Structure 1
């Protein structure tokens, strides 16, 4: 991430945490960041857009924590999941003031359609990640209950974090991670013992979120690619052009009958933009692979 943009985001996180989002002005943020208002508007059109970037910033941290948990090839499936829970607890505990403010104002912020979409997409990714880990730990017998288990784990994490942040309950991240994993184990064993039917299924979740079918895979890949562009493409104009192109693709893919010619044309345009960046081209190929096979 570019240095000035990072300074603005970190200053906003600090001020939103110490005060709140609504009473913190753009001037307050740039003064603390040591940059001009012109620099602010180079990266953000408004304070609302900055808030969206902060949401993305924290969601990136969580995503990176999950990837970090997977990075050790010698870790068992149980160790991977417990490490992921620990890293999320550590991130949250390290940003108590800001995240506490977000919890208090969460309902109001979710009225913002962009933030709502980000949270829906992220929820889908996290639930899928948890499901995969849970099945890896407990095997095929838990598969039909895996989404229920993932939702319960996520709910426990959120509620315990709420009490820790709101009532200043002092607990170490590793202590919470171990406790929550043990509670998940209790839940799983109870489900396996009773063998009742599941309440939730992955296909229901996708359908209710309007993401059923191939477009769900596409949307998740697009979101990850957008994050990669923001952190790896130094040229601001090129970065903005790529992100705008991806937004156009998202709009096309949300249509009932997406236009394959537009999708192919946008792909060719993005390839042209990234022709000198081998890593970007690899991401593009992966992103578009399932569409291009239809051409």
Structure 2
């Protein structure tokens, strides 16, 4: 992201948290960010468009951090604990991201609503994948109930920390949340009652999940690819392989031989081997 665009996003978020979205003018934003109005409109069509970019910006940071934990930690329980600690650390350092939700009742149309829903879906997919990796297939039938409760745990801590400006240790809070999750899952699995909600109740979240997971892993591969030394030919071949995987996996009857060939090409790069292995499990 261009340095000026990132600076506008960071400055505007602080202003929105301090004054409110509606009370903050574009003139105030550009003055505080030390850029011209022309520069502002080079990156954003309007203040509404800026707000959408802010949501997207922080969502990208969040899911990149979750992906990096997965790359460096193999145990799924430890993964989730570290991921929650990363989220809490990010929140501690960027509380203004959440405060804007409490400050203003913001609704600017379908474009932002669609982005918020997309982020919600990514969050659900993350929780589902981690919970299933920890507790196995036995939780599949209860995954929506578990996700709702986990979401409630996380959001409650975020809310109280934001409103009361608590000083806290992200690792300690994360350990506590995961212990609560353990107790929750154990209670759900021993409960004779049926889940309140199942995947059938949220088809918009669960339909095409496999395709979405493949797409997310492909994006992570693209980001990781930029971190390793490659010549132009190697880089283009990797870009082509990732593109083919995304397009083929989205088809009603994807050809396994094509997917396998593309994954094997990516796997030859040591820095991409872990992500390519995750991708292989999803598509083969």
TM-score range, shorter chain: 0.7 to 0.9
Residues 224 and 36 of structure 1: is their aligned pair in 2 closer, same or farther, counting only changes over 3 Å? farther
Alpha-carbon contact 1:121-1:220 (below 8 Å) kept: no
Q: Distance in 2 between matches of 1:293 and 1:97?
A: 43
Aligned to 1:14: 14
SS for the counterpart of 1:35 is: coil
Residues 212 and 155 of structure 1: is their aligned pair in 2 closer, same or farther, counting only changes over 3 Å? closer
Q: Distance in 2 between matches of 1:80 and 1:220?
A: 17
Q: Distance in 2 between matches of 1:281 and 1:146?
A: 35
Q: Name stretches of at least 5 consecutive residues in structure 1 with no aligned partner.
A: 234-275
Residues 220 and 49 of structure 1: is their aligned pair in 2 closer, same or farther, counting only changes over 3 Å? farther
Residues 65-115 of structure 1 deviation map (CA, whole Å, 9 limit, x = unaligned): 210220114x3110001111111111111112342122343xx32453222
Residues 256-281 of structure 1 deviation map (CA, whole Å, 9 limit, x = unaligned): xxxxxxxxxxxxxxxxxxxx955543
Aligned to 2:158: 161
Aligned to 1:269: none
Residues 118-150 of structure 1 deviation map (CA, whole Å, 9 limit, x = unaligned): 111111121121111111111222221122112
SS for the counterpart of 2:72 is: coil
Aligned to 1:268: none
Matches within 5 A, 1:1-295: 1-73=1-73, 75-105=74-104, 108-110=105-107, 112-206=109-203, 209=204, 213-214=207-208, 277-291=236-250
Which sits farther off after the overlay, 146-155 or 41-50?
A: 146-155
How many angstroms does 1:182 deviate by? Answer: 0.9
Q: Distance in 1 between matches of 2:116 and 2:84?
A: 18
SS for the counterpart of 2:202 is: helix
How many angstroms does 1:204 deviate by? Answer: 2.1
How many angstroms does 1:183 deviate by? Answer: 0.8
Q: Distance in 1 between matches of 2:109 and 2:221?
A: 23
Alignment TM-score, normalising by the size of structure 1: 0.73
Residues 127 and 47 of structure 1: is their aligned pair in 2 closer, same or farther, counting only changes over 3 Å? same
Q: Name stretches of at least 5 consecutive residues in structure 2 with no aligned partner.
A: 227-234, 255-284
How many angstroms does 1:287 deviate by? Answer: 2.7
Residues 208-252 of structure 1 deviation map (CA, whole Å, 9 limit, x = unaligned): x4x6744x666777789899999x99xxxxxxxxxxxxxxxxxxx
How many angstroms does 1:46 deviate by? Answer: 0.2
Alignment TM-score, normalising by the size of structure 2: 0.76
Residues 228 and 290 of structure 1: is their aligned pair in 2 closer, same or farther, counting only changes over 3 Å? closer
Aligned to 2:274: none
Residues 185 and 102 of structure 1: is their aligned pair in 2 closer, same or farther, counting only changes over 3 Å? same
Alpha-carbon contact 2:215-2:246 (below 8 Å) kept: yes
Q: Distance in 2 between matches of 1:293 and 1:53?
A: 33
How many angstroms does 1:23 deviate by? Answer: 1.2
Alpha-carbon contact 1:103-1:162 (below 8 Å) kept: no
Alpha-carbon contact 2:48-2:108 (below 8 Å) kept: no
Residues 225 and 40 of structure 1: is their aligned pair in 2 closer, same or farther, counting only changes over 3 Å? farther
How many angstroms does 1:117 deviate by? Answer: 1.0
Cα RMSD over matched residues?
A: 3.0
Residues 171 and 228 of structure 1: is their aligned pair in 2 closer, same or farther, counting only changes over 3 Å? same
